[in-house]
Amino acid sequence: MGEYEGLYPRRVRILFYDVETSPMLSYHWQAKTEYVAAPMVVDDDRALLCWSAKWSNSTKVLSARVTSAEAKAQDDGRIVGKLADLLRQADYVVAHNGNRFDYKRVNARLLLNRLTPLGNVQSIDTLSVARQSFDLPYNNLNYLASKLGFGEKLKTGFDLWRRSVMGDTKALKKMSEYCDQDVILLEHVFHAILPYAKTLPRLVDAVEWREELCPYCGSQNRRRSGFYRTKVNTYPKYACQVCQREYRGWQAIGNRAQGTVGL
C-alpha cells in the first residue's frame, strides 16, 4: 500500500448541480414565427440567473444568484466563477440533460467572461442514463422524481424568468429556490436509478488488491451471480447486497500456472 495506506477504498466526490439562465430577447413579426434571424435578436447573452449544487456526502445545498443590478446587466461572472470552482473539485458532476445544456452553458459563460476554462470535468447525465436504460413515457426530471415518490419541481411560469431578468429581487429568490429543489430531486433520482442503470462509471477508487469491492458503493457484502464473459476471458460476476448493482471480479477464471487465463 505504501503512500496509499488508509486512503483507499474511497467513494468518489459527486457534485449534483443545476443552472437557470435568462431567455433570449428578440423582435417577432408574428406570434408563431418559426425562425428568428440574428438581426431580430436584441439580447442573446443567456446569462446565468442562479445555480444550485450539492455534494453527495453533504445535506447542504450550495447556491448563488445574481443581484438585481447584475441581472439587468446580464453580468453573471461572479456566480459563474464560483460554480466553476466547485465543478473542478468534483470527481464526477451530475446534471439532468447536463451534457447538452448545463455543462455547455457554464462553459460558454466562462468563455464570454474570459474566466479560467473548466478543464477535464467528468460528467454523468441522468437524462442520458434514463434514455439508455429504461423504456419510460417521459424522461424529464419532474416525471422521474414524481413517479419514484420524491416529489415534484416547484411550480413556475415564464413570468418568473421575465421578472428575474428585469432584476426583481423576489423573483430571483424564488428562482433560486426552484433551482435548489431541482438539485434535491436530481440526487434522489440518481440514487434510485443507480442499481438499474445500463452504463455508469466506477464510483469507488480502489487499489488493485482491493478491487473485489463493489465499484459503485465500496461494499464487500456481495453474492455470486454467475459469469461475465468477454471475447477473451470469463470472469466471476457478483451482485452487491447494498446498492444492488452487479459487477465482475477483477481476475479472470483460470489457472495462470497452467497457462490458462479464462474459461
**Angle (CA) 55 172 180, round 5°:** 25
Dihedrals phi, psi of 234, to nearest 5 degrees: -120, 135
Which pLDDT belongs to residue 6? 52
22, 161 contact by CB (below 8 A): yes
Question: Which pLDDT value is given to residue 69?
Answer: 97
pLDDT at 207: 57
Q: Assign 3-class secondary structure to 103-161.
A: HHHHHHHHHHCCCCCCCCCCEEEHHHHHHHHCCCCCCCHHHHHHHCCCCCCCCCCHHHH
Q: How many CB atoms sit inside 10 A of residue 128's CB?
A: 17
79-93, 165-179, 243-257: least confident range: 243-257
| 29, pLDDT greater than 70 | no
Is the pLDDT at 209 greater than 60? The verdict is no
DSSP 100: I
**Per-residue confidence band for 257, with pLDDT thresholds at 50, 70 and 90:** very low
Q: Is 7 exposed, middle or buried (0-12, 13-18, 19+ CB in 10 A)?
A: exposed
Residue 244 has pLDDT above 70, yes or no: yes
Q: Quick check: 222 pLDDT over 70?
A: yes
* Chain position carrying cell 467528468: 122
* Fold designation for 2-193: Nucleotidyltransferase; domain 5 (3.30.420)
Residue 223 phi, psi dihedral angles, 5° rounding: -135, 150
Q: What are the sequence ranges of the domains in the chain?
A: 2-193, 212-258
State the pLDDT at residue 198. 78
Rounded CA separation 211/205 (Å): 9
* Residue 258 vs residue 219, higher pLDDT: 219
Q: What is the pLDDT of residue 10?
A: 74
Average pLDDT over residues 140-150: 98
Mean pLDDT of all residues belonging to the chain = 87
Residue 12, sorted as left (phi over 0), alpha (psi -120 to 50) or beta, turns out to be beta
Q: What is the pLDDT of residue 261?
A: 44
135 backbone dihedrals φ, ψ, rounded to 5°: -115, 80
pLDDT at 28: 64
Q: What is the pLDDT of residue 218?
A: 81
Least reliable range by pLDDT among 91-105, 176-190, 220-234: 220-234
Tell me which residue has cell 420524491: 150
Q: What is the SS3 assignment for 29?
A: coil
Secondary-structure breakdown of the chain: helix, strand, coil percentages, each rounded to the nearest 5:
35, 20, 45
- Average pLDDT on 18-39 reads 74
Of the pLDDT bands very low, low, confident and very high (cuts 50, 70, 90), residue 33 is low
pLDDT at 259: 45
